[in-house]
């Protein structure tokens, strides 16, 4: 049997659930399509071994643990084709402690490992800063949640692990020269890059020495690394927005200076004059969603900068990682600016109810969006939820039907039973052993449900549930009058006696 101990120790995560992914076909864009499923059982040693041995389906682990800590995280660069060698070289130049692995579809998983568990929020913050420096802002970050509500059925998102099929697979680590690392060589990459305890955990990449002092980190990175081809106009306009904030007097001259220093090649005078004239019309906001800023965006850090986006007015909160616990009624879990909250369907569907829930749970009032924009946002979250299989099936006893069946059985077997059918008028069920049937009046069952605060089913739906288990309505003549009753198959009784613990000698009981 393959040795799983080291691999499991590196990638341990949530211990009550795991993910599986079975590849079914390749899409036109190079990404492999398949079936992803969250399984609410602990990942066993056999599953780890099967993964390394290449036994389908492959194993996915949820990095965030029940106590909201983790020992690994990942930047998922979902791009095809991808220059893995160039990515590894850039990571080395920026001195980032990331280990790059080829993903199942040919993209890259850039892993960060720690020796001791750290808060998932810290892992996210660090990885987002790394992604921004790499020009990969906006990529998926794992763990996708900074906290999960395990006791409410929340599990978080899983990531497919590398080394499916061991050294013979296509999900391998990548060495400095771009070649594939064996599993043993991956362990060496891990040793060279794993970070220390929480106290020694390095801060997110610090602000570089940059002419964009106290400004957006995206512009700092771009001035250091260069503006990509085709982005010089947008880049210089963003610099103009910064210079107007930082140097209200004389910013036009500085814009000319920055054009020469940081644009390769520099823009001509006609283009420079046009950008200067446009920027001078009013105080513009940074166009964070446009290239090249979007690829280097670190909004959390930018908000703390004197001349960043913090002074540009309130932004809509960041909503992500919607998941569903398919109970009856269902529960929904959503990340809002990194905080995980539980929502009912109305609180998700109705914007005012959503705003109220945010105020109550995280002391935040999101701005009101137009109805069409809210529906667009919600549909995007739901689409991502379905595509990433973030729907967890609830156990039967948590469903409305399950609770109803439990209370029906309790009513039929645990209550004082009628000695004959006339005693049904006392509100008791009557068991006819000759027929193996139980008789009762609907109103007595409804009274039992009400006493137990069960309001999940209307009378017609209760009748349908009874028919589903072989029940039928039947009129009975009780003490001289006709009563409308129901007849259902008997529940199986406990035949074996319950085990009784032995009393030790000297026990006070």
> Do both 374 and 483 map to the same domain?
no
Q: Is residue 62 part of a domain?
A: yes
Given a contact cutoff of 8 angstroms between Cβ atoms, the answer to whether 129 and 135 are in contact is no
> Do both 186 and 102 map to the same domain?
yes
Number of domains in the chain: 4
> Do both 374 and 471 map to the same domain?
no
Cis, peptide link before residue 410, omega less than 30° from 0: no
For the residues of 159-194, what is the DSSP string, one character each?
Answer: EE-S-TTGGGSS--EE-TTSPEEPHHHHHHHHHHH-
The pLDDT score that the predictor gives to residue 352 is 93
> Do both 79 and 175 map to the same domain?
yes
Question: Among all chains, which residue has been given the structure tokens 């692990």?
Answer: 161
Q: Is residue 503 part of a domain?
A: no
The pLDDT score that the predictor gives to residue 493 is 67
Q: Is residue 153 part of a domain?
A: yes
The pLDDT score that the predictor gives to residue 508 is 46
Q: Is residue 242 part of a domain?
A: yes
Q: What CA dihedral angle connects 448, 449, 453 and 454, to 10 degrees?
A: 170
- Sequence-ordered list of residues with C-beta below 8 angstroms from that of 263, at least 6 positions apart, any chain: 227, 232, 235, 236
> Do both 44 and 182 map to the same domain?
yes
> Do both 125 and 18 map to the same domain?
yes
> Do both 248 and 335 map to the same domain?
no
> Do both 57 and 168 map to the same domain?
yes
- CATH number of the domain bearing residue 25: 3.90.920
> Do both 48 and 174 map to the same domain?
yes
The boundaries of the domain holding residue 353 are 319-393
Q: Is residue 9 part of a domain?
A: yes
> Do both 327 and 464 map to the same domain?
no
Q: Last residue of some domain: 311, 345, 365?
A: 311
The pLDDT score that the predictor gives to residue 58 is 92
β pairing state of 319-326 and 391-393: parallel
SS (H, E, C) 289-356: CCCCHHHHCCHHHHCCCCCCHHHCCCCCCCEEEEEEEECCCCEEEEEECCEEEEECHHHHHCHHHHHH
Q: Is residue 40 part of a domain?
A: yes
> Do both 299 and 424 map to the same domain?
no
pLDDT tens series, the chain, 509 aa: 578 999 999 999 999 999 987 666 554 555 555 667 788 889 999 999 999 999 988 999 999 999 999 999 999 998 878 899 999 999 999 999 999 999 988 999 999 999 999 999 899 989 988 998 898 988 889 998 888 888 777 888 899 999 999 999 999 999 999 999 999 999 999 999 999 865 455 444 555 557 898 888 899 889 988 898 889 999 999 999 999 998 988 899 999 999 999 999 999 999 999 999 998 988 888 998 898 998 888 877 787 788 888 654 445 677 888 888 877 778 899 988 778 899 999 999 899 999 999 999 989 898 888 888 888 889 988 988 887 767 776 666 667 788 899 899 999 998 788 999 999 999 999 999 899 999 999 999 999 999 988 877 888 889 999 999 999 999 999 998 999 999 999 998 655 554 555 555 554 44
Q: Is residue 507 part of a domain?
A: no
Question: How do residues 238-297 score in pLDDT, each as one tens digit?
Answer: 999 999 998 988 899 999 999 999 999 999 999 999 999 998 988 888 998 898 998 888
> Do both 251 and 381 map to the same domain?
no
Q: Last residue of some domain: 341, 376, 393?
A: 393
* C-alpha separations of 100 from 103, 106, 145, 500 in Å: 9, 12, 22, 58
Question: How do residues 396-455 score in pLDDT, each as one tens digit?
Answer: 666 778 889 989 999 999 878 899 999 999 999 999 989 999 999 999 999 999 998 887
The pLDDT score that the predictor gives to residue 504 is 53
- CA–CA separation, 317 vs 310, rounded Å? 13
- CA–CA separation, 42 vs 62, rounded Å? 11
The pLDDT score that the predictor gives to residue 244 is 92
Q: Is residue 207 part of a domain?
A: no
- CA–CA separation, 50 vs 36, rounded Å? 17
- CA–CA separation, 350 vs 359, rounded Å? 15
Given a contact cutoff of 8 angstroms between Cβ atoms, the answer to whether 368 and 355 are in contact is yes
Q: Last residue of some domain: 374, 393, 412?
A: 393
Given a contact cutoff of 8 angstroms between Cβ atoms, the answer to whether 340 and 145 are in contact is yes
């Amino acid at each position: 049997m393959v040795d799983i101990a080291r691999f499991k120790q590196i990638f341990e995560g949530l211990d009550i659930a795991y993910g599986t992914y079975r590849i079914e076909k390749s899409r036109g864009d190079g990404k492999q399509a398949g079936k992803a499923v969250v399984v609410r059982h602990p990942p066993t040693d056999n599953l780890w071994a099967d993964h390394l041995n290449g036994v389908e389906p492959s194993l996915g682990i949820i990095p965030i643990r029940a106590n909201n800590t983790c020992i690994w995280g990942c930047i998922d660069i979902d791009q095809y084709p991808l220059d893995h060698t160039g990515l590894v070289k850039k990571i080395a130049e920026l001195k980032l402690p990331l280990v790059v692995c080829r993903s199942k579809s040919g993209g890259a998983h850039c892993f960060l490992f720690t020796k001791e568990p750290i808060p998932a929020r810290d892992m996210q913050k660090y990885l987002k800063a790394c992604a921004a420096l790499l020009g990969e802002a906006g990529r998926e970050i794992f763990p996708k949640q900074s906290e999960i509500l395990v006791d409410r059925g929340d599990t978080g998102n899983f990531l497919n692990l590398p080394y499916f099929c061991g050294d013979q697979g296509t999900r391998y680590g990548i060495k400095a020269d771009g070649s594939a690392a064996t599993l043993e060589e991956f362990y060496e990459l891990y040793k060279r890059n794993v970070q220390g305890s929480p106290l020694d955990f390095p801060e997110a990449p610090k602000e570089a020495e940059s002419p964009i002092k106290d400004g957006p980190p995206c512009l700092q990175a771009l001035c250091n690394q260069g503006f990509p081809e085709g982005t010089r106009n947008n880049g210089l306009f963003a610099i103009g927005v910064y210079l107007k904030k930082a140097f209200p007097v004389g910013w036009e001259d500085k814009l000319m200076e920055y054009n020469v220093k940081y644009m390769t090649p520099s823009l001509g005078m006609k283009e420079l004059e046009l950008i200067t004239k446009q920027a001078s019309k009013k105080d513009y906001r940074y166009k964070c969603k446009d290239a090249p800023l979007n690829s280097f965006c670190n909004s959390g850090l930018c908000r703390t900068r004197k001349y960043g986006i913090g002074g540009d007015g309130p932004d809509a909160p960041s909503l992500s990682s919607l998941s569903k616990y398919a109970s009856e009624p269902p529960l929904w879990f959503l990340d809002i600016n990194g905080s995980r909250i539980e929502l009912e369907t109305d609180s998700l569907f109705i914007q005012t109810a959503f705003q109220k829930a945010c105020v109550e749970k995280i002391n935040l009032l999101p701005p009101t969006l137009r109805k069409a924009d809210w529906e667009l946002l919600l549909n995007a979250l739901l689409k991502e939820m379905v595509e990433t299989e973030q729907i967890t099936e609830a156990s039967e006893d948590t469903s409305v039907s399950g609770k109803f069946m439990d209370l029906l059985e309790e009513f039929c077997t645990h209550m004082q039973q009628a000695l004959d059918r006339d005693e049904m008028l006392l509100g008791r069920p009557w068991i006819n052993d000759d027929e193996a049937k139980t008789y009762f009046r609907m109103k007595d069952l409804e009274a039992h449900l009400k006493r137990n605060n069960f309001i999940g089913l209307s009378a017609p739906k209760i009748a349908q549930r009874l028919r589903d288990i072989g029940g039928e309505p039947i009129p009975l003549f009780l003490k001289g009058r006709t009563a409308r009753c129901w007849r259902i198959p008997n529940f199986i009784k406990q035949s074996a006696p319950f085990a009784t613990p032995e009393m030790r000698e000297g026990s006070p009981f």
